[in-house]
Amino acid sequence: MTEVQAPAPAPRAPTELSFPLPKALHTTAHIHLTALDTCAMIFLATSTAGESTGSTRPMGSFIYAMPDRTSPRSTISTTLYTTASTEEYATRIAKILARRMGVPVYLGCSIDPVALGLLPEEEMEGLTSIVDKVMAKWEARDR
């Protein structure tokens, strides 16, 4: 006798966002968010007004972060692929999102705040804006 298996749930369509990065003149942040059943995949990049559309950019760093089940205020992360200029920024965002989402996060990030010429306060404003927009889409995913 054969068993009938329920069909696998349909994958959710990725969400793509673009918005001006605060305090970074003529710079647009791009977010690609895919909400999976057990984790989230997020890719972050920027573009500036003077870039040609066909230009290639480095991939940046790829980070895996997950909430620590024993301590809700901390997260665990590891770098899967590193680019020195983006690793610290990517790790910070991945840890924040993993803690707030409550699921593991795979985050690819090619944003280099130093190359954008951002001051620490401006960098934090951009980070906050990215996290807020990702969380708004994450919380609205099941509605």
What is the third-level CATH fold of 25-48+58-139? Ribosomal Protein S5; domain 2 (3.30.230)
* Average pLDDT value over all residues in the chain: 87
Structure tokens at 89: 């920024």
User: Please, which pLDDT band fits residue 37 given cuts at 50, 70 and 90?
Assistant: confident
Q: Where are the domains of the chain?
A: 25-48+58-139
| Residue 101: predicted pLDDT | 94
Contact between 62 and 106 (Cβ < 8 Å):
yes
pLDDT digits (tens, 9 = 90+) for 88-131: 999 999 999 999 999 999 999 999 888 888 888 888 999 999 99
Average of per-residue pLDDT across 42-64: 81
| Residue 6: predicted pLDDT | 64
Compute the distance between CA of residue 5 and CA of residue 82 in angstroms, rounded to an integer.
41
Q: Is the pLDDT of residue 40 over 90?
A: yes
Compute the distance between CA of residue 89 and CA of residue 109 in angstroms, rounded to an integer.
8
| Residue 35: predicted pLDDT | 92
User: Please, which pLDDT band fits residue 21 given cuts at 50, 70 and 90?
Assistant: confident
| Residue 76: predicted pLDDT | 95
Name the nearest CA neighbour of 77 among 107, 100, 54, 35: 107
User: Please, which pLDDT band fits residue 11 given cuts at 50, 70 and 90?
Assistant: low
